[in-house]
Structure 1
Amino acid sequence: MKFLLLALFAVAAASATYTGGKVDLPHKQQAILQLLWKVHIPIQDEELYQIGMQYNPIQHVQQYKELSLQQVQEIVEHVHEHKILSKEGVFNAFEEKHMQEAKHLFELLYFSKNFETFHKTALWAREHYNPGMFVYALTTAVIHMPYEQVDFRGITLPKLYEVLPNLYVPSKAVRKGYEAQYTKTTPVVTIDKYSSKHMKVHNEEALLDYFTEDMSLNAQQSMWHKSFPYWWNRDVYQHENDRQGELFLYVQHQLLNRYHLERIANRLPTVHTLPTEGQTIQHGYAPKSVYSNGQFMPTRPDYVRELAYEGSHYVQAKDWIYRIRSAIDAGYLFNNAEEQIMLNSTHGLDILGRIIQGSNQQYKPEYYGQLYNWAHKYYGRIADPHQKYSQVPSVLEHFGTAPRDPLFYRIQKTMNVMYKRYKDLLKPYTQEQLSFPGVQIKAVKVVGESRSSTPNTLTTHFEDHEFDLSNVQNHEQTEVKGLVSRLRHEPFQYAITVQSKVNKQAFVRIFLAPKYDYLGNKYELNEKRWYAVEMDKFVTDLKVGQNTIRRASSESTIVKKEVDTYRQMMMKVEQEIHNGQQEYTTKTHSHCGWPLHLLLPKGTQQGEKYTLYVVITDYDQDRVPETQIPKEHTSYALCGLHHDAKYPDNKPLGYPFDRRIEHEQKFFQYNMKAVDITIENVQ
């Protein structure tokens, strides 16, 4: 097994140079996997290496759509004159210069007219660009590539924590990985990431590290931001990411709510917003990880004081917050043409979300700022604000590692307060907006798949997860496996009984909300609705009479299914190419989506109480013209559909729990049902 992947890559290289014509999906998949394998060293195949060293985009400028000779020359000259981030540097997604360089590389890839150009450009970039920057640009291009140029539908990107494992595992795991190249066996490195499971806890935030340190959770944060980049310009890239601003606020809201459910299960209070000037940040963070260049990720001690320092834009950021809040309260803002734009309930939230994310180009971006990006950069550097010790980027300065730091959730809470402020100014839904005439939910039940399962009682447990750790070291032939314990749940099924007087398609919306706070006090409906976590959203057919809807937890449109390890993917693709039968790569894969294994909160050993809500609405009213929900599994609920496809639900995200509920009796309709469930964490 140790030498198998090397042999497979050798076979791949023989057919991995493309000279025009149509390239099938297995060969595209093979090429992407090869490009992302051991990115910190030159590609090992000599032919591909020579292409990367000899290819010059300037000589093929006609193969780049929308890019002028001057633009391509500028990009290439910056590379050859070493004006870009060095290979030994650390790519920082919140550093303006770094992101500008990454965008230039993305554009070379994105505007490639065919796969041959894309592949050769990627090989060239792999040998000349910083590895972190290369991975960012390449994976973002694969997600967004126009189908008419290079059709990447069906491509599976490997797990980010297998491509760049140094960002996720402790330094001692890296050391063990390097030691593996001197042995003849395949080592399995056990990752003791979770102090709450293996040692005495001295920091209350460590009780949550099974969640915050989960590698798939962190990778999802990275993939969402690649799917909806803050720098995306629809005029330049010629397609729109529909409802990007609203999705940004909602996805971060959902992440914060899941974090809140874990805090309740561990008897921790609600997270606070960011401190004000002069206050201290109570909890520090020690990632214990080391970059591939040997520099350790910075540690932030407890009680670091918030302060304005030179170049921090601290005062300016406070002005941004004031201006955004003022716009929310006034109900309008101004665009670049000084026209008054109403923040109505149709498009207002999308505008607000784009402003906070920093993806706003139309509404006075200098005036409203880039609050979210600023917060990551400012708080990421707060332990060494004056760069006295030349601190490298912290975990907060990468989309894919920020959730590891408890301070990240205070950033989220601060943005979330503005989101709630906007929503609370909207009128509550009317009975007409909530009801579905002729449809009544009679019963709701959830049942685990095992025969011993008790209805409406679900279980979670910790289970070892094996992943490919080979990229933690640079020896081509050495295989290293990682083993980490992570939260999982028993697969379960929803059983929903519906009485209908009409034959209609319906949208089924499922939410999970806490029943009690961390002290055991019962939540009022208007409190708990803001902490509701969306579990699933799907379309079903209702017939006149009684309908029983059964839905497996694994079918959720919230989640992204687990993909194979790097080696498994490569072997299956090679087998496909060898046999000439396309089976593995015909499946549709979602690049973005909530990790399936984290669909449920941990609960407690005694059993934590939650409320499950099911809401059924009229699909004829909810459907979006000319947009079809894919029949195959896709995590569109949090990630949209992309490539100019409209989000396939015209209801506000989070409906009907996104607005104030003033009267519980007026809120509940026949097309809604609430049931109490228990989640037990079993040893």
Structure 2
Amino acid sequence: MKTSTTSSCCTKTLFLLIPSLNLRSTISASSSSNLFLSPQLTFNNIRIRNVEVSAAGIPKNEFSTFWQQSDINLSRGLDFTPRGPIYARFTHLQHAPFTVKINVENSTGQRLRGTVRIFLAPKFDERNAQMSFREQKNLFIELDRFVVDLPERNNLIERSSLESTVTIPFEYTFRDQDTNRPAEGSDALASFNFCGCGWPQHMLIPRGSPEGLPCQLFVMVSDYEQDKVDSAQSTPTCDNASSYCGVRDSKYPDRRAMGFPFDRLPRDGAFNLAQFLTPNMAVLDTKIKFTDRIVAKRPLQANRTTQNRPTQNQPTQNRNQNRRQ
């Protein structure tokens, strides 16, 4: 299969290892230079009061994974004549869509803006022992990162997994490369190829185990004034996976280093994740429960609307609910 486009490369096994290797290289380089101090991690007068994960028909604070069958068109990767569509059905990992609910307290009396960062990591090592922070920090995977307004004292933020700025939908990962394809060598073609960049949505959550793999969901609200990049585009093209791919023709939309806040060694005395936390962080014990079953296949023409997903540098609208409590 051709790998000239981002979307086709993303299906390659080797390509799936690159984000982890890049992140570990970044962490290794920065970890050896200096440590994080509390002022570099805190967001004054911002406190996370509660975090919860919910999904329809699934116990609270649990992720559900299973197998799903989908159809894709392989004709572009095959050199036969006469040309025509060639469909294949394959089985892949999938998870139930979920929502992360975050209660954030803003005690400044002023309207602030923050960056919400959501990570997931296993809780125990291969010996079923609690990991040290140095061990666990390199295992965190980023699930989402987005900007949010904090106008009131008590703010309830609700974020759907389908809105993740790390992923692109199934239809973008396996889209038809011939449909609406711009002319070769044009700027539009570069944009077309960039739109296929992103981690596959159906691979956002690891498989887990039948008994439920114990994991920890880490949530942080950092100061947007320290995170923002002034040169970022206000109307970027194909920014669905801006945390994973950046924004085309613009600086990466986050001033923090890749993997922040796990890109450096912790301050003295932070031997485990609980000791690493500051008031603007929270950890939720969760499970990833895998069911060894295959659900109904995804229709070939199924499509999820992605036109109005929030950008990395603009707060989500009509999704984050700020309520007086």
Candidates 116, 130, 149, aligned match of 1:541 = 149
The change in CA–CA distance for 1:588 and 1:525 in structure 2 (over 3 A counts) is same
Deviation, 1:519, is: 2.5
Question: What CA distance in whole angstroms lies between the structure 2 residues aligned with 1:514 and 1:636?
Answer: 25
More helix by share: 1
Shift of 1:520: 1.3
Work out which of the residue numbers 206, 214, 224 in structure 2 matches 1:601.
Answer: 206
Aligned to 2:47: 440
> Which residue matches 1:241?
none
Q: Give the one of 194, 209, 218 matched to 2:12.
A: 218
Give the direction of change, closer, same or farther, for the CA distance of 1:503–1:569 in structure 2 (3 Å limit).
farther
Give the partner amino acid of 2:93.
L
Q: Aligned pair in 2 of structure 1 residues 421, 652: CA closer, same or farther (>3 Å)?
A: closer
Aligned to 1:427, which of 19, 30, 34? 34
Write the letter of the residue equivalent to 2:89: L
Please state how far the C-alpha of 1:454 moved relative to its aligned partner.
1.0
User: Aligned with 2:89: secondary structure?
Assistant: strand
Match of 1:618 in 2: 223
Q: Which runs of 5+ in 2 are unaligned?
A: 182-191, 293-325
State the partner residue of 2:20. 255
**Pairing 1:475–2:81 present:** yes
Q: 1:566 to 1:530 in 2, by over 3 A?
A: closer
Give the one of 263, 285, 288 matched to 1:676. 285
Go from structure 1 to structure 2 and tell me whether the alpha carbon gap of 1:480 and 1:513 turns closer, same or farther (over 3 Å shift).
Answer: same
CA shift for structure 1 position 621: 1.6
SS at match of 1:509: strand
**Residue correspondence of structure 1 range 388-407 to structure 2 within 5 A:** none
SS at match of 1:682: strand
- Please say if residues 220 and 592 of structure 1, whose CA atoms lie closer than 8 Å, have aligned partners that are also in contact: no
Do 2:26 and 2:258's aligned partners in 1 also have CA atoms closer than 8 Å? no
Alignment of 1:72-471 (within 5 A): 136=4, 139=5, 159-160=7-8, 216-218=10-12, 221=15, 252=18, 254-255=19-20, 416=24, 419-448=26-55, 450=56, 452-471=57-76
Q: Which residue of 2 aligns with 1:637?
A: 243
1: distance between equivalents of 2:151 and 2:127? 45
CA distance in 2, matches of 1:426, 1:666: 21
Cα-to-partner distance string for 1:174-216 (whole Å, 9 max, x where unaligned):
xxxxxxxxxxxxxxxxxxxxxxxxxxxxxxxxxxxxxxxxxx4
Report how far residue 591 of structure 1 moved. 2.4
Q: 2:115 aligns with which of 507, 520, 523?
A: 507
The separation in 2 between residues aligned to 1:568 and 1:628, in whole angstroms, is: 26
Change (3 A) 1:506 1:441: same
Cα separation, partners in 2 of 1:526 and 1:637, compared to 1, 3 Å: same
Q: How far has the Cα of 1:563 moved from its partner?
A: 2.3
Q: Work out the CA distance in 2 between the residues paired with 1:590 and 1:447.
A: 30
Amino acid at match of 2:285: D
Question: Partner of 2:171: helix, strand, or coil?
Answer: coil
Residues 518/536 of structure 1: CA separation in 2 closer, same or farther (3 Å cut): same
- What's the secondary structure of 2:215's corresponding residue? strand
| Secondary structure of 1:443 counterpart | strand
Give unmatched runs, 5+ long, in structure 1. Answer: 1-130, 140-156, 162-215, 223-250, 257-411, 575-586
Aligned residue pairs total 274
Give me the CA root mean square deviation: 3.1
Q: How far apart, in 2, do the equivalents of 1:598 and 1:550 lie?
A: 21
Q: Does structure 2 retain, via aligned residues, the 8 Å contact 1:434–1:667?
A: no
**SS of alignment partner, residue 100 of structure 2:** strand
Q: Larger % of strand: which?
A: 2
Change (3 A) 1:546 1:630: farther
Greater relative contact order: 1 or 2 (C-alpha under 8 angstroms, separation 6 or more)?
2
Question: Normalization by structure 2: what TM-score?
Answer: 0.75
SS in 2 for 1:563: helix
CA contact (8 A) 2:194 2:248 kept: no
Cα deviation for residue 589 of structure 1 reads: 7.1
Partner Cα distance (1:642, 1:217) in 2: 21
The answer (yes or no) to whether the contact 1:562–1:596 under 8 Å persists in 2 is yes
Aligned to 1:559: 167
Number of the residue aligned with 1:658:
263
447 and 569 in structure 1: CA distance in 2 versus 1, 3 angstrom threshold: farther
C-alpha contact (below 8 Å) 1:588/1:633 kept by paired residues: no
Q: Could you tell me which amino acid in structure 1 is paired with residue 141 of structure 2? A: V
- Contact 1:507–1:616 at 8 Å: present in 2 too? yes
Q: 1:491 to 1:600 in 2, by over 3 A?
A: same
Q: 1:547 to 1:628 in 2, by over 3 A?
A: farther
For 1:16-47, what per-residue CA distance to the aligned partner results, in whole angstroms no more than 9, with x for missing partners?
Answer: xxxxxxxxxxxxxxxxxxxxxxxxxxxxxxxx
Contact 1:505 1:539 in 2 (8 A): yes
Measured against aligned partners, the alpha-carbon deviations of 1:585-607 in whole angstroms (never above 9, x if no partner) come to xx997321111110000000000
With 487-496 and 652-661 compared, the bigger mean Cα shift is at 652-661
8 Å CA contact 2:51–2:284 kept in 1: the answer is: yes
Which of residues 135, 147, 152 in structure 2 aligns to 1:527?
135
**Partner secondary structure for residue 44 of structure 2:** coil
Larger radius of gyration: 1
**Identity rate, percent:** 27
